[in-house]
Amino acid sequence: MCGIVGFAGWQCDRDTSEALLTRMCGAIAHRGPDGEGHHVAPGVALGMRRLSIIDVSGGMQPIANEDGSITVVFNGEIYNHNEIRSGLVASGHRFATRSDTETIVHLYEDKGADCVRDLRGMFGIALWDSRRRSLLLARDRLGIKPLYYWITNEGLAFSSELRAFLALDHFPRVIDRLSLARFLSLGYVPDPMCIFRDVKKLPPGHFLTWDAEGGARVQRYWSPVREEDSALDEVTAVEELERRLMDAVGSHLESEVPLGAFLSGGIDSSTVVACMARKMDRPVQTFSIGFEEAGYNEAPDAALVAKALRTEHTEFIVRPEADRLIEDVVRVFDEPFADSSALPTLLVSQLARDRVTVSLSGDGGDELFGGYLRYTEMESRVELRPAMLRRTTGAVARALPHSALGRNRLLDLSRRREGRYVSAMATPLTTADGGFARPDLAADGGHFEDLFAPHFLEAAERDFPTQMMLTDIMSYLPGDILTKVDRTTMATSLEARVPLLDHELVEFAVSVPSRLKIRDGSGKWLLKRAIANLVPAQVLTKPKKGFSLPLAQWFRGELRHRVDSLLRPDARIYEFVDPTAVLRLVREHRSGRRDHSPSIWRLMTLEIWLDLLNRGELAQPSPGHLDIAVRNS
């Protein structure tokens, strides 16, 4: 696991290139505390920070092929590298290390950019081919690892995190208004967009090739959309899923450093830990945290599972000084990011990092197996027909005051099913629809219901629950969930692995009909059947509970002054949001009439992020080890 940076085409002498690489690597030092490596040659500079996991003594990057004509820096893990290595050795390639990184350069020699199709794992790759004078960037299929690129007049720069660009004096810190509008709607900036103009994220399942003559060309090499296996019967599906779960988790266990797992006591994390317990010859080290507010404390559930699976369990009840931790959490993300579960994820990452260097996580189970309530709720809702009736209902709803009972229900009825999905996932921009963007930004932000249209179109041949799952896999999963996991774990120099997102498991899961995932208004039917003999019975009946914070109470109590700061006339957010709308949100929340804590958190994180950007602090490495008060439960 590493962080990578670099550039191609920039007209720099060697000393300047080394200095720029040093600054860029320094900004992402938290991603790789075990070493730094550079490769500088005419037309290119590659840099990396290393967190040593495989071939600890010999796998330092950059790594080149036999004659030095191809050089790679790499962030991630290739889980089938031993299999690939055997084939390459048989065909005459010579290896100098045992690292998974070296398989990439030799595989590229044989297959060019298509080599990424053979890789099973999570990765952000930058490879320089000196013979063709071309750069290859590639990102894994699901977007587990990040990769930004910045196109300039001279060439192209790349980095695992945006802060490496912010560390450069000549980087233009111009906010992209459409991306900011998307953040206000979604709480994150979706791929391929970036909060800064001229920078993009390489989307999941894509690679980019660049050379001086042709510039940058982006190509998709993988999509999660698959045909439904309508003939799949229940018995076969259960057996196949259990086999694939064991295979995926087993492939993720290679490590030369201590390895453990996050455990919440829910279905997904319990599945991963149960498979680990079957595969490992020693007890699994598991980690969980809890809060003193009973409604938000999953620690007892995790403890029950840990006892049943005989893990070495570490549990803490965390008493975070929320006001002090908010800035640290915002600082971890180099773009505005408003999933409040980032705070407990950062805390459990720190807890795990005190004992292990690698931790497996259960992320992805909801999107693959129908775990979110929206999949069942939206499928069962009545859709008004014809379209004229929907338009009339919408007009009536918008004419009502924001606080009117039934307004949101009428708006929901006025939308088609895809629109209802959008309303569940996003906040409208316009104040007329309950949003809080300034009119000019709302106009820049495009049509609300078009946010996910390309994903629904790509999945149009599947039924509606599956369309929602596939849309989540292509948008919410990489944009929110995996961004949160990558940044919070890497901020503490911890590698997170997500075996449920092994692409071979994903391809099977998305081919499974929704009738085997959702039954009697409940999701994860197939997954529950597959793990019934692996996990304690209470895991299968536990109500779904997110990894969330008591924000509603905090904003009326200990964080009230933070909310007050949003009402200052000089608040930075008012370049983008409407003061009257913000005041309405705050008043309704404080009165107890509505719970606007997600929107308030979104505005609060944006205000802090803008302030950190103005002070130049986002160009610094993540805060690393947090000074938090914890006590053993």
What share of the chain has pLDDT > 90, as a percent? 73
Instruction: State the pLDDT confidence band at 298, using cuts at 50, 70 and 90.
Output: confident
Boundary of a domain, candidates 220, 252, 287:
220
Q: Is residue 226 part of a domain?
A: no
Q: Is residue 227 part of a domain?
A: no
Task: Give 621's contacts (C-beta < 8 A, 6+ positions apart).
Answer: 26, 27, 28, 29, 30, 163
270 shares its domain with 404: no
Q: State yes or no: pLDDT of 154 exceeds 80.
A: yes
438 shares its domain with 525: no
At 58 the pLDDT is: 61
The residue assigned the tokens 């449920």 is: 500
8 shares its domain with 39: yes
Helix axes 417-425, 373-380, angle to 10 degrees: 150
| Residue closest to 518 by CA, chosen among 618, 616, 416, 371 | 371
163 shares its domain with 19: yes
Rounded Cα distance, 483 and 500, in Å: 16
160 shares its domain with 248: no
441 shares its domain with 580: no
Bond prior to 192 in cis (omega within 30° of 0): yes
Q: State yes or no: pLDDT of 426 exceeds 70.
A: yes
Q: Is residue 403 part of a domain?
A: yes
| Residue closest to 264 by CA, chosen among 198, 125, 359, 192 | 359
> Could you give the C-alpha distances from 70 to 20, 126, 130, 532, 567, in angstroms and in order?
22, 11, 6, 48, 55
Rounded Cα distance, 251 and 54, in Å: 13
Q: Where are the beta strands (DSSP E) in 489-568?
A: 495-497
53 shares its domain with 162: yes
243 shares its domain with 291: yes
- Could you read off the pLDDT of 15-25 as tens digits, one per residue? 999 999 999 99
Task: Give 364's contacts (C-beta < 8 A, 6+ positions apart).
Answer: 142, 268, 477, 481, 498, 500, 501, 506
Q: State yes or no: pLDDT of 60 exceeds 90.
A: no
Boundary of a domain, candidates 465, 495, 528:
465
Q: What is the CATH number of the domain that holds 239?
A: 3.40.50.620
- Could you read off the pLDDT of 215-264 as tens digits, one per residue? 999 999 999 999 999 999 999 999 999 999 999 999 999 988 889 999 99
What is residue 48's three-state secondary structure? strand
461 shares its domain with 498: no
323 shares its domain with 354: yes
Q: Is residue 228 part of a domain?
A: no
At 257 the pLDDT is: 84
End-to-end alpha-carbon separation of the chain, Å? 32
Q: Is residue 344 part of a domain?
A: yes
Phi, psi of 195 (to 5 degrees): -65, -20
The tally of domains found in the chain comes to 4
3-state SS string over 350-406?
HHHHCCCCEEECCCCHHHHHCCCHHHHHHHHCCCCCCHHHHHHHHHHHHHCCCCCCC
**Which of the two residues, 407 and 612, has the higher pLDDT score?**
612
Q: Is residue 177 part of a domain?
A: yes
Q: Is residue 449 part of a domain?
A: yes
| Residue closest to 32 by CA, chosen among 80, 73, 79, 78 | 73
Q: Is residue 225 part of a domain?
A: no
Rounded Cα distance, 403 and 406, in Å: 9
- Could you read off the pLDDT of 197-208 as tens digits, one per residue? 999 999 999 999
Q: What is the CATH number of the domain that holds 78?
A: 3.60.20.10
172 shares its domain with 140: yes
- Could you read off the pLDDT of 447-456 as tens digits, one per residue? 777 889 999 9
In the set 2, 25, 194, 275, the catalytic residue is 2
Strand partners, 135: 128, 210
Annotation says 2 is catalytic: yes
- Could you read off the pLDDT of 167-223 as tens digits, one per residue? 999 999 999 999 999 999 999 999 999 999 999 999 999 999 999 999 999 999 999
Rounded Cα distance, 40 and 17, in Å: 7
Boundary of a domain, candidates 490, 517, 541:
541
Rounded Cα distance, 567 and 573, in Å: 10
State the chain's mean pLDDT as an integer: 89
40 shares its domain with 16: yes
Query: What range defines the domain where residue 255 resides?
Result: 234-372+468-541
Instruction: State the pLDDT confidence band at 631, using cuts at 50, 70 and 90.
Output: very low
